[in-house]
């Protein structure tokens, strides 16, 4: 044994596999961006649709939300990638991961936005409607701007947790950080690529966490 | 029938919440420029009645005509009707995420489709009208209760309503702030605004009201000019109520 340094910080290994890991970094970044965009926008849309209280539509929304809040993320990913082809739908690993994690995030985001919408006092609706705003206008101009602020602290933790799930995409052959790190590890029989991988995750998610703290402070003033 | 001399006509208005009948057939005629004061014990149905007039509460049955428009009719454009009926709430209900000016201009831009520039010019005039020109850029949380309520009045007035409803506008205010709001309401009256006011401010009722309606148990028990109601109430229930509120 040549010591801890060689096993975990082997410069030769790092130099050799760094380009592969950096390409994984770009994939993880793109995947995280796609998941957050899909999840938050879809969750927001579903919550706003739910506010209109169409019975059948709401029933479907609640069923979707409860299903995707219940299923483990890994199960969703595996199903999207290995299950859908049996239904004649073949999608790339990247698309499957975006869809799988995005839908899970959408389910949680819908609940957060919905909780925030129901927390807006009735008087806000009444003030808006009494000045002639339609339901949709009251929702868009009065209720949602306040609801989004309330939802942000509820959302940030969940968004970070689910977005970190991009590492699960290694299971369905998405060439992201963990996937690259694992193959580099087996090729080199050395743990250094994993250390670099961990560092790359930090590089993505530490700013994310700092940004979410800023958001929470920035919009924490209401109610 | 000379319907035209009434701005607001209400016939046999009923409202029930489940089995509980809150309004038991209210009739009311209001002439343009008239100030109607609604008084009565809590739970008598006066707020519910007021909120039925712009259908924030949906009446169970009855007829409401505002300036000739049958507002209970099927297919009526409620958003258009509400533009003509301003309402001021006990809890102000200002939009906390918008400035005073933003509160006043929102409906101007969304409902009347005014440009931002026109809406803001109009909004500033309205704020000036209630004595708050210098607070245009303040958020509601930065204003006192009395100031918030005056912004709420400006918000309602900006749409140039034909009728203003006030639902206990001073009940949530500290005593020293009540006067500023009542002053704005007196000015409005002097400008000829038609108003229906639910209030516990008996001095305001006495000197600003054209007619006082005493409600109890979902009915109008008696009505008349303030001098008659306050000095010479005909009903025992009115006497008891006035004794309670005037001697507290």
- Identify the structural domains of chain A with CATH numbers, from first to last: 22-219 (1.10.3720.10)
Q: Which of B54, B97, B141 lies closest to A130 in CB terms? A: B54
Q: Does A129 touch chain B (CB under 8 A)?
A: yes
Contact flag A127-B94 (C-beta cutoff 8 Å): yes
pLDDT of residue A6: 83
Read off the tokens for A159.
């968004």
> Rounded distance, CA A153 to CA A212, Å?
8
Q: Does A152 touch chain B (CB under 8 A)?
A: no
Q: Does A58 touch chain B (CB under 8 A)?
A: no
Q: Name beta bridge partners: B216.
A: B219
**What is the number of other CB atoms lying within 10 angstroms of the CB of residue A129?**
21
**Tens of pLDDT, residues A41-76:** 999 999 999 999 999 999 999 999 999 999 999 999
Query: Quick check: A208 pLDDT over 90?
Result: no
What does the buried/exposed string (b/e) look like for A3-28 if buried means 16 or more CB atoms within 10 Å of the residue's CB? eeeeeeebeebbebbbebbeebbebb
pLDDT of residue A177: 92
Per-residue confidence band for B4, with pLDDT thresholds at 50, 70 and 90: low
* Farthest-apart Cα atoms in chain A, separation: 78
Per-residue confidence band for A220, with pLDDT thresholds at 50, 70 and 90: low
**What is the number of other CB atoms lying within 10 angstroms of the CB of residue B98?**
19
**Tens of pLDDT, residues B16-29:** 999 999 999 999 99
Query: Quick check: A217 pLDDT over 90?
Result: no
Query: Quick check: B72 pLDDT over 80?
Result: yes
Looking at the complex, report in whole angstroms how far the Cα of residue A212 sits from the nearest Cα belonging to chain B.
20
DSSP state of B114: -
pTM: 0.90
Using a CB-CB cut-off of 8 Å, the residues of chain A touching B89 are 123, 126-127
pLDDT of residue A221: 56
- ipTM score: 0.93
pLDDT of residue A2: 63
Q: Which range (A98-107, A178-187, B91-100, B145-154) has the least confidence?
A: A178-187
Per-residue confidence band for A223, with pLDDT thresholds at 50, 70 and 90: very low
Contact flag B85-A130 (C-beta cutoff 8 Å): yes
When the pLDDT of each residue in chain B is averaged and rounded to a whole number, the result is: 94
> Rounded distance, CA B8 to CA B36, Å?
11
């Amino acid at each position: 044994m040549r010591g801890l340094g060689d096993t975990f910080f082997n410069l030769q290994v790092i130099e050799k596999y760094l380009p592969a890991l950096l390409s994984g970094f770009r994939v993880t970044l793109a995947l995280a961006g796609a998941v957050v965009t899909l999840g938050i926008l879809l969750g927001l849309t579903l919550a706003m649709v739910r506010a209109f209280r169409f019975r059948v539509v709401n029933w479907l929304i609640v069923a979707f939300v409860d299903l995707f809040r219940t299923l483990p993320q890994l199960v969703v990913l595996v199903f999207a990638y290995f299950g859908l082809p049996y239904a004649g739908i073949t999608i790339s690993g990247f698309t499957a991961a975006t869809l799988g994690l995005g839908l899970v995030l959408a389910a949680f985001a819908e609940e957060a936005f919905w909780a925030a919408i129901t927390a807006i006092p009735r008087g806000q609706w009444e003030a808006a409607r009494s000045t002639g705003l339609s339901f949709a206008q009251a929702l868009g101009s009065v209720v949602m701007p306040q609801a989004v602020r309330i939802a942000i602290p509820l959302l940030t933790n969940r968004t970070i947790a689910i977005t970190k799930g991009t590492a699960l995409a290694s299971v369905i052959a998405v060439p992201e950080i963990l996937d690259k790190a694992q193959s580099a590890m087996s090729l080199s029989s050395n743990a250094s690529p994993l250390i670099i991988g961990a560092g790359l995750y930090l590089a993505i998610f530490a700013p994310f966490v700092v940004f979410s703290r800023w958001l929470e402070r920035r919009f924490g003033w209401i109610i | 029938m000379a319907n035209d001399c009434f701005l607001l006509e209400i016939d046999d208005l009923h409202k029930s919440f489940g089995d509980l009948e809150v309004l038991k057939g209210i009739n009311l005629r209001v002439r343009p420029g008239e100030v109607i004061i609604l008084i009565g014990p809590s739970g008598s149905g006066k707020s519910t009645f007021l909120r039925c007039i712009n259908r924030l509460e949906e009446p169970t049955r009855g007829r409401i005509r505002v300036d000739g428009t049958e507002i209970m009719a099927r297919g009526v454009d409620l958003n258009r009707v509400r533009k003509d009926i301003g309402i001021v709430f006990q809890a102000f209900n200002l939009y906390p995420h918008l400035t005073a000016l933003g509160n006043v201009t929102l409906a101007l831009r969304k409902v009347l489709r005014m440009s931002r520039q026109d809406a803001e010019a109009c909004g500033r005039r309205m704020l000036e009208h209630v004595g708050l020109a210098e607070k245009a850029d303040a958020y509601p949380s930065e204003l006192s209760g009395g100031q918030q309520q005056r912004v709420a009045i400006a918000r309602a007035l900006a749409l140039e309503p034909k009728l203003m409803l006030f639902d206990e506008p001073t009940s949530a205010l500290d005593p020293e702030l009540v006067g500023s709001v009542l002053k704005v309401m007196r000015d409005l009256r002097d400008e000829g605004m038609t108003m229906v006011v639910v209030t516990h401010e008996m001095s305001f009722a006495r000197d600003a009201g054209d007619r006082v309606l005493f409600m109890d148990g979902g009915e109008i028990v008696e009505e008349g000019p303030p001098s008659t109601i306050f000095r010479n109430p005909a009903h025992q229930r009115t006497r008891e109520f006035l004794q309670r509120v005037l001697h507290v």
